[in-house]
Amino acid sequence: MPCALGSPCTARPGAPWRHRAQASGLRALACAAAALAFLALAAATPTPGAAQTPANIGDVLRELSPAGRVATLSTLLRSFGRSRPDKIAPLFLKSPDILPQKLSRKGGVEADRLIWADFFAGALIDIGNEGGRKPVVGYYNPVLEVWLITQWDASLPVPKVEAAFLATTGPLADPDAGFSSVQTAPDWVANWRGVGIIPAIQQQTARASATFKRLFPPGGTDERAISVPYAVARVTQSTLATRAAIMAASVDKALSSPVRDTAARQVLHAVRKGDAAALTEAAGGGGPDVLVAEVLGLPAETRAGMVIAAAVNNGENYLLLAPAAATPRTVGLIQFRDSADGPVLTALAAFDALGGDQR
């Protein structure tokens, strides 16, 4: 019997995977093009000491409140992060050295770029202290279980990031715990076998969001500079790189069989295109655990942005997590079982990483 998606089962924890489907690359380029078109309306007044920002974006943002400007730009930053991370510094940062630059243990610009792309593709956004001049935007990736905490200067005509650090939820909630509380694996990887993969991710994400809101309340006015112990920030940089690498290798292993890899690509393509017939065929005619209608009922934009990011495998069944880049709270789940005739789709679902309605 297949392992139910939301229930406990014995399986080997898996990990995120870099984007492999060509369609996801086209999707990312489309997002970047839209953001570039928005930002390239004209040339804004540069912040002293910072790279110029293409604009008349000031004209576009002028009708918004300071909080609205930050909300708009923070979403654009995520779009650039997953498609053109090399453009983040000149467009969004007051100084080019604000964000951690070297995230790969092996080094190299391309490796760093891929890690940032993986991070932002599945990053949820939380905003706090937007009642003051120094709002805080948190980018949280549930699969990697890592925060990028950014503080913005909302007093500028075009708000920019003036401080940032990486952290996991443990030391963010309790800085005194130090870097010893930074674990190699995300919480959901350690806990999913006991509670089920959906509850494990939802519980972890709910704790993370509650921690952020406690530290940086919505509507808050605290303008103190954000900080985390230096050792925690440095260790988290390595942790992000390590988790990205481990999870990439784990998904590659889960799909190492050419027939598995092909089956996964075909199902993901069918989900993106809304092809119910292809999904029913992949399921061998369908079954009670294959919730095709539920997934295809999601908005087309959500389905089109789904990218395989993680896998768990217990030998008989393997399950793929596919967050939606356009709406990262929505996570698709695809489960296969090996058979003599090849992989059979045994379950298909989608859930909200925060536990609400994923639509």
Would you kindly state where each structural domain of the chain is located, as residue ranges? 22-248, 255-352
What pLDDT digit, counting tens, does each position of 107-157 carry?
Answer: 556 667 778 888 998 999 999 999 999 999 999 999 999 999 999 999 998
Sign, CA torsion 335/24/90/237: positive
| Confidence (pTM) | 0.81
* Backbone angle region of 108, left / alpha / beta, with phi > 0 → left and psi within -120 to 50 → alpha: left
Which ranges of the chain have pLDDT less than 50?
1-55, 104-105, 288, 358-359
Task: Give the pLDDT confidence score for residue 111 in this predicted structure.
Answer: 64
pLDDT of 356 reads 65
What pLDDT is attached to residue 54? 43
Query: Over the stretch 226-264, which tens digit does the pLDDT of each residue have?
Result: 888 777 778 888 888 888 887 787 788 888 889 989 999
Tally the C-alpha atoms within 13 A of residue 96's C-alpha that lie toward its C-beta: 9
- The Cα–Cα gap between 164 and 152 comes to 9
Determine the Cα–Cα distance for residues 170 and 184; give it in Å rounded to an integer.
12
CATH fold of the domain at 255-352: Nuclear Transport Factor 2; Chain: A, (3.10.450)
By CB atoms closer than 10 A (0-12, 13-18, 19+), residue 23 is middle
| Backbone dihedral region for residue 274 (phi beyond 0: left; psi -120 to 50: alpha; all else: beta) | left
pLDDT for the residue numbered 52: 41
In the block, residue with structure tokens 């990011």: 309
* Predicted local confidence at residue 315, as pLDDT: 65
Question: What is the structure's pLDDT at 12?
Answer: 28
| pLDDT score at 31 | 39
